[in-house]
Amino acid sequence: MKDKICLITGGSAGIGLATALGLAKLGATIIIASRDHQRGVKAKEFIKEQTKNNAVEYLPVDLASFSSINQMVEDFNSRYGKLDVLINNAGVYYSKLSFTKDNIEMQLGVNYLAHFLLTYLLLESLKGAAHLRIINVTSRFHFQGRIHFDNLFLRNNYHGLRAYCQSKLANVLFTYELAEKLKGTNTTVNCLHPGTVRTKIGNSNATGLYPFFCNFCKPFLISPQKGAKTSIYLASSDEVREVTGRYFQKCKPVRSSKLSYNKEIALKLWKESETLTGIRFL
């Protein structure tokens, strides 16, 4: 991975940090994109110390703000002339209905639409890139998801897990549709389930039974290091250099949910996503 530039959202903690650490060990240039400045800088220094790789940078971005995402891409473009790997890793969980700065339901906004917009902006600025791998971190929870087009923000009868499952299904639908649109180019697009990982997602935003459930399950969850293995594999392995439009688990392509292959749903979500982000993607 020497001379390869990897941008990882949510790279300052959990699976994202473990992914950044693993790729830095392989010699990659790492760009951590996350909201918390103090944690981002701390993660940058930690990776440098652990790997003796000084090619690690931090770019601030609030994925709950489209203007912040635009600013981060401008910052990236001013410093770098290429990108080899984009890992859309960041995710949130909210038990109560919350909204981004652009008035979009928080989980749909951060887990999915932020990465839809970020990917678009980077593709626009990197036209003619030698080879770009786009990797979307999703979850097996997408099997329980459906896209609620008649109530996309779930204002009526909101439930945190329902919103989370919807956002993760959106990640998979986006992966397949973008892979199809980019066929014949030098860009591949894949997604993955990292496993049921011991992270702090939702710790400060969850109420009710969710924190209790997480604490109860902790002994049975895998470490962020194990959860990062498939992301690292998709970012670095020559075996998947030309593979696109697949869903991976434990570094192997597997079948995703039946709904995730529904072309009509994918196209409808794509159009809705363009409307919500104010862009015309491909």
Task: Report the alpha-carbon distance of residue 214 to residue 229 in Å, rounded.
Answer: 22
Exposure string over 190-199, b if 16+ CB within 10 A, otherwise e? bbbbbbebbb
Closest by CA position to 47, among listed 89, 15, 19: 19
Decide the pairing of beta strands 252-254 and 246-249: antiparallel
Count Cβ atoms within 10 A of the Cβ of residue 107 and give its class: 0-12 exposed, 13-18 middle, 19 or more buried.
buried
The token pair that represents 92 in the structure block: 């949130």
Closest by CA position to 148, among listed 193, 207, 105: 105
Three-state DSSP string of 142-171: HHHCCCCHHHCCCCCCCCHHHHHHHHHHHH
Query: Which amino acid is it at 132?
Result: L
Residue 33 bridge partners (DSSP): 9, 59
Given the residues 164, 210, 233, 247, select the one marked as catalytic.
Answer: 164
Instruction: Provide DSSP, 197-247.
Output: B---TTTTT--THHHHHHHHHGGGSBPHHHHTHHHHHHHH-GGGTT--SEE
Closest by CA position to 51, among listed 16, 87, 19, 98: 19
Indicate if 164 belongs to the active site: yes
Q: Which residues are catalytic?
A: 164
